[in-house]
């Protein structure tokens, strides 16, 4: 069966480089492109089959680790490989905490990108970085359901419950129910503490 790979990056030239790496590692693959997080989310939801997501950490609609957490929550069985210019020593373990299987620097050459794609498609994961420690809160945020994560991101964007409800097409009461679950999972007492905890993990939407 033909494999499907999503490339989510806002730089067209880098998407072309990733497409070339994919064509070498998996010549039969169908490539879907997204230049914004919302486009990536739509693609993830629409794809009947999705074998790999190549994701930039910072793109329109998201920065930090919001994209990794959200796409992993939407498609937990699809491997996510982060391709980013962020500092690898710091970003790689945190990306893995939110569901990514590996991290490749944007400074990597084509052969390295090709190898990373091939390994990901083969089901291989990056080995944990020696000495790297990930805050427990990262694991807690990663445990949120897709809707809970969207509610949290709405709160982080300064949206009121009724505004989040409108954005997500659900009732305000349902949003309150999700907030109760979010507070419990994060181990915090109120919205302010939830915002501070999530911001400390670089989970937020860009303006």
Boundaries of CATH 3.40.50.2300 in the chain? 4-121
- Mean pLDDT in the chain? 87
End-to-end CA distance of the chain: 40
Is 207's pLDDT higher than 60?
no
Residue-wise pLDDT tens digits, 78-134:
999 999 888 888 788 888 888 899 999 999 999 999 999 999 999 888 766 554 455
Over range 173-184, report the average pLDDT: 96
Q: What pLDDT is stored for residue 53 in this prediction?
A: 97
Q: Checking phi first, is residue 187 left (phi over 0); if not, alpha (psi -120 to 50) or beta?
A: left
pTM attached to this predicted model:
0.80
Q: What pLDDT is stored for residue 187 in this prediction?
A: 92
| Beta strands at 63-64 and 203-204: parallel, antiparallel or unpaired | antiparallel
Share of the chain above pLDDT 90, in %: 54
Residue-wise pLDDT tens digits, 32-89:
999 998 899 999 999 999 999 999 988 887 767 888 888 988 888 999 999 988 888 8
How far apart (Å, rounded) are the C-alpha atoms in residues 119 and 126? 9
Q: Which residues are paired to 84 by β-bridges? A: 105
Q: Which sign does the torsion angle of CA 160, 163, 168, 171 carry?
A: positive
Q: In the sheet where 4-8 sits, what is the strand order?
A: 30-34, 4-8, 52-55, 80-84, 102-105
Q: What pLDDT is stored for residue 50 in this prediction?
A: 95
At residue 10 the predicted structure's pLDDT band, cuts being 50, 70 and 90, is: very high
Encoding tokens for residue 52? 């790999």
Does the domain at residues 4-121 carry the CATH identifier 3.20.20.70?
Answer: no
Is 206's pLDDT higher than 80?
no
Say which CATH architecture domain 136-204 belongs to. Orthogonal Bundle (1.10)
> Using alpha carbons only, what angle is made at residue 125 by residues 45 and 18, rounded to the nearest 5 degrees?
60
How far apart (Å, rounded) are the C-alpha atoms in residues 159 and 191? 12
Boundaries of CATH 1.10.10.10 in the chain? 136-204
| CB-based contacts of 100, cutoff 8 Å, min separation 6 | 55, 68, 72, 80, 81, 82
Q: Checking phi first, is residue 99 left (phi over 0); if not, alpha (psi -120 to 50) or beta?
A: left
**More confidently predicted of 127 and 191:** 191
Is 183's pLDDT higher than 80?
yes
Over range 141-169, report the average pLDDT: 88
Is 180's pLDDT higher than 90?
yes
């Amino acid at each position: 069966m033909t494999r499907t790979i999503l490339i989510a990056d806002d730089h067209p030239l880098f998407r072309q480089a990733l497409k070339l790496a994919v064509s070498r590692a998996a010549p039969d693959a169908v490539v879907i492109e997204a230049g914004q997080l919302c486009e990536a989310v739509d693609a993830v939801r629409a794809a009947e089959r999705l074998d790999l997501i190549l994701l930039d950490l910072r793109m329109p609609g998201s920065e930090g680790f919001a994209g990794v957490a959200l796409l992993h929550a939407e498609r937990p069985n699809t491997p996510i490989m982060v391709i980013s210019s962020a500092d690898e020593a710091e970003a790689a373990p945190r990306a893995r905490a939110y569901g990514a299987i590996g991290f490749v620097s944007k400074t990597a050459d084509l052969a390295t990108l090709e190898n990373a794609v091939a390994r990901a498609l083969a089901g291989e994961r990056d080995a944990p970085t020696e000495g790297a420690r990930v805050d427990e809160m990262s694991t807690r945020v990663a445990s949120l359901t897709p809707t809970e994560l969207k509610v949290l991101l709405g709160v982080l964007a300064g949206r009121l419950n009724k505004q989040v409800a409108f954005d997500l097409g659900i009732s305000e009461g349902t949003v309150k129910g999700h907030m109760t679950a979010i507070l419990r999972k994060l181990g915090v007492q109120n919205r302010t503490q939830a915002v501070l905890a999530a911001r400390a993990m670089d989970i937020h939407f860009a303006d």
